């Protein structure tokens, strides 16, 4: 979609009424518990396609960090409450939702906040499997998250400074026809940072191809 239209669409999303009454915004502090909710979606339209054609190249995603439910990153006790935002994106025809995520975490500073591993969207197959040596018959493979390929991969985290910060280090793969080598999938980086407050506000991390709507609630 043209840039002005995309920004107007995102402003409309950020203005959506919330489905529940939430605590008022507060100052971010290390040691507090927070709930993170994200709607990650692909922009649909000629601008997004043109950007992909000009920038896409094979990129290896950094999958270091914990998956949701591992380590200190736990699935949200209250679940995902931004479904109305995801529904609005899908109904608009201007975006396709790749991920709906919600987790609880302890607020930590930049140095100590763990990365959250992201593997969302369509499954694209495996890459570089390695044989299980001395543990299984020849021909069997140990498939780990590092080998699996999805449209959206990489890592992100929310850390605490004077404000809350959403930091992304993601890769969006452009799906090819089944049978193509996943190692050769062209991809684009989705890297950025968005300053946020806790409370009922929605925040948007802009990108020509992949948008992220975020809300952080202090528990």
17 domain residue, yes or no: no
* Domain tally, the chain: 1
Mean pLDDT computed over every residue of the chain: 83
What is the per-residue pLDDT for 181?
Answer: 58
Going along 93-185, which residue ranges are E strands? 95-106, 116-126, 130-131, 141-142, 148-160, 164-173
Q: Which region holds residue 139: left if phi is over 0, alpha if psi is between -120 and 50, else beta?
A: left
9 domain residue, yes or no: no
Mean pLDDT for the stretch of residues 199-207: 92
**Contact 136/158 with Cβ under 8 angstroms?**
no
186 domain residue, yes or no: yes
134 domain residue, yes or no: no
Domain that holds residue 199: 32-126+146-218
8 domain residue, yes or no: no
149 band by pLDDT with thresholds 50, 70 and 90:
confident
12 domain residue, yes or no: no
Higher pLDDT, 184 or 129: 184
121 band by pLDDT with thresholds 50, 70 and 90:
very high
189 domain residue, yes or no: yes
What is the per-residue pLDDT for 165?
Answer: 95
- Three-state secondary-structure class, residue 215: strand
- Three-state secondary-structure class, residue 51: helix
How far apart are the C-alpha atoms of 37 and 59, rounded to whole Å?
A: 27
Q: What is the pTM of this model?
A: 0.81
24 domain residue, yes or no: no
> Distances from the Cα of 75 to the Cαs of 69, 78, 104, 134, in angstroms?
6, 9, 6, 36
pLDDT at position 119 over 60: yes
């Amino acid at each position: 979609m043209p840039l002005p239209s995309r920004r107007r669409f995102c402003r409309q999303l950020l203005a959506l009424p919330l489905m529940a009454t939430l605590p008022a915004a507060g100052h971010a502090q290390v040691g507090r518990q927070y709930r993170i909710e994200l709607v990650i979606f692909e922009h649909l339209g000629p601008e997004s396609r043109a950007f992909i054609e000009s920038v896409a190249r094979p990129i290896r995603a950094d999958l270091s960090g914990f998956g949701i439910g591992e380590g200190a990153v736990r699935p949200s006790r209250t679940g995902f409450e931004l479904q109305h935002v995801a529904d609005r994106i899908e109904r608009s025809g201007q975006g396709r939702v790749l991920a709906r995520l919600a987790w609880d975490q302890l607020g930590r500073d930049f140095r100590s906040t763990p990365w959250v591993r992201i593997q969302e969207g369509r499954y694209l197959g495996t890459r570089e499997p390695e044989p299980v040596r001395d543990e299984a018959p020849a021909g069997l493979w140990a498939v780990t998250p590092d080998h699996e390929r999805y449209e959206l991969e990489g890592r992100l985290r929310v850390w605490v400074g004077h404000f809350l910060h959403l930091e992304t280090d993601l890769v969006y793969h452009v799906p090819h026809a089944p049978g193509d080598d996943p190692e050769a999938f062209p991809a684009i980086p989705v890297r950025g940072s968005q300053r946020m407050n806790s409370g009922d506000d929605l925040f948007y991390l802009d990108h020509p191809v992949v948008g992220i709507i975020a809300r952080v609630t202090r528990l």
